[in-house]
Amino acid sequence: MIGSFKTNSPLNIIFLLIYGFVLKFYAFLHPHIPIAQATDGFLYHRLLNFLAPFGKTVPIIYPVIVLALILSQAIIFTNFINNQKLLHKPTYLPALAYVFITSLFPEWWQLSSALIINSLLVWVWATLSSLFNNPKPKTLIFNASLVVSLTSFLYFPSICFIILVFFALISMRPFHLSEWIIAILGLLTPYYFLFAILFLGGNWNPLTYLPSLSVSVPKFQYDMWAWAAIILLIIPFLISGFYIQANILKMLIQVRKSWSLMLVYLIITLLIPFVNFASTFEYWILCALPFAAFHAYTYFYAQKKWISFIIHWLFVAFILALNIWLPVKA
CB atoms within 10 A of CB 158: 26
Backbone angles phi, psi at 40, to 5 degrees: -75, 150
CA distance 213 to 275: 6
Residue 87: left (phi > 0), alpha (psi -120 to 50), or beta? beta
- 8 A C-beta contact, residue 84 and residue 126: yes
Got the DSSP string for 1-30?
Answer: -HHHHTS--THHHHHHHHHHHHTTHHHHHS
Q: What is the pLDDT of residue 64?
A: 94
DSSP one-letter code for 252:
-
Q: Under DSSP, is residue 155 helix (H, G, I), strand (E, B) or coil? A: strand
Q: In the chain, helix, strand, coil percent, each to 5?
A: 75, 0, 25
| pLDDT at residue 65 in the model | 94
Nearest to 163 by CA among 144, 178, 176, 177: 144
Looking at beta carbons, which pairs linking 241-250 to residues 24 or more positions away fall under 8 Å?
241/294, 243/297, 243/298, 243/301, 243/302, 244/297, 247/301
Closest-CA residue to 26 (of 91, 87, 110): 110
Q: Strand, helix or coil at 40?
A: strand
How do the domains of the chain map onto residue ranges?
2-212+260-329
Tens-place pLDDT, residues 211-239: 666 676 666 666 788 889 999 999 999 99
- Judged by DSSP in three states, 218 sits in coil
Query: Which residues of the chain are modeled with pLDDT < 50?
Result: none
Q: Cα–Cα distance between 68 and 20 in angstroms, integer?
A: 9
* Burial class of 203 by CB neighbour count within 10 A (0 to 12, 13 to 18, 19+): exposed
Q: What is the torsion angle, in degrees rounded to the nearest 10, for the CA atoms of residue 35, residue 283, residue 131 and residue 261?
A: -170
